Amino acid sequence: MKLTVLGSGTSIPHPRRASPGFWLETGNHKVLLDIGPDIPHRMAEEHLDWPDIDAIWVSHFHLDHFGGLPPFLFSMRWAPQVANRTKPLRLVGPHGLQDLLQTINDGNNYRLFNQRFSVDVTEIKPDEQFELVPGLLAQTIKTPHTKESLALRLTHSDGKRFVYTSDTGFTEELGVFGKQADMLLMECSFRSNKPLQTHLELTDAMGLAKECDPGKLVLTHLYPEWDAFDLVAESSKLWQGEVIEAKDGLVVMI
């Protein structure tokens, strides 16, 4: 699998960190994990094959993770690049995804679901197992962030394991859920003295890294306060494994 970081930031405008979004290629399939408001144009900027995308995972409904979805569906109604597309587009996320999209759609009759191809919405519960795309088995757990927020664990048919926490507060359950992932993509919103219990700071994140012991740890969802610090150097004091700072445009193999 190949992961491209489209947005390593948060909801706060930042010159080098777009809102969250990660492009995952699995051989035959292309999946987007979260779709912040910047992401439709970021996919184009990275020359990714967005017209052929198979599925979009929405971890929760905060607008920095979901806000690009209505504009992306709106754009696909008009984009010449999808004029001949017949493949369905799969939207997968927590319970409430269909209603939320429908409400936005109906607010101005955007006709987001009237595409040249079908748009299939699948709502997932915590602790559910499903196939995200063929060959990619998914599991979820509830995270302490919003009432619907989910972490995602993907197992490729080649055996590789990838875990994406998305936004979360600290919970020991993530230490089990993320165990021995080949790559753990984890939020590390704050350095210290986090203002919100519904996010992680560095000691939380590295405590979870110790439990999970991933092949590679990628830290993301970095608030602007991180600009003043060396994330990898600070992480290395707390855990000896391979830590990678997410940066927009970074490509990592899993």
Binding site for Zn ion (CB under 5 A): 62, 64, 167
Least distance from C-beta 60 to Zn ion, angstroms? Answer: 6
Cβ distance to Zn ion smaller for residue 144 or 175 = 144
Least distance from C-beta 65 to Zn ion, angstroms? Answer: 5
Least distance from C-beta 46 to Zn ion, angstroms? Answer: 20
Least distance from C-beta 11 to Zn ion, angstroms? Answer: 6
Please state the φ and ψ torsions of residue 112, each to the nearest 5 degrees.
-65, -25
Beta strands in 205-250 (DSSP E): 216-220, 243-245
Which DSSP string corresponds to 106-170?
HHTT--TT--SS-EEEEEE-TT-EEEEETTEEEEEEE-SSSSS-EEEEEEETTS-EEEEEES---
Which DSSP string corresponds to 80-96?
GGGTT--S-EEEEEETT
Contacts of 206 (CB under 8 A, 6+ apart): 235, 238, 239
The secondary structure element, H or E, covering residue 5 is strand 2-7
Cβ distance to Zn ion smaller for residue 38 or 167 = 167
**Dist CA 57 CA 76 (whole Å):** 17
Cβ distance to Zn ion smaller for residue 71 or 241 = 71
Least distance from C-beta 249 to Zn ion, angstroms? Answer: 19
Cβ distance to Zn ion smaller for residue 148 or 167 = 167
Least distance from C-beta 97 to Zn ion, angstroms? Answer: 15
* C-beta separation of 191 from 157 below 8 A: no
**Dist CA 212 CA 166 (whole Å):** 16
Least distance from C-beta 167 to Zn ion, angstroms? Answer: 4
* C-beta separation of 170 from 150 below 8 A: no
Cβ distance to Zn ion smaller for residue 150 or 243 = 150
Cβ distance to Zn ion smaller for residue 54 or 187 = 187
The secondary structure element, H or E, covering residue 71 is helix 69-76
Cβ distance to Zn ion smaller for residue 63 or 253 = 63
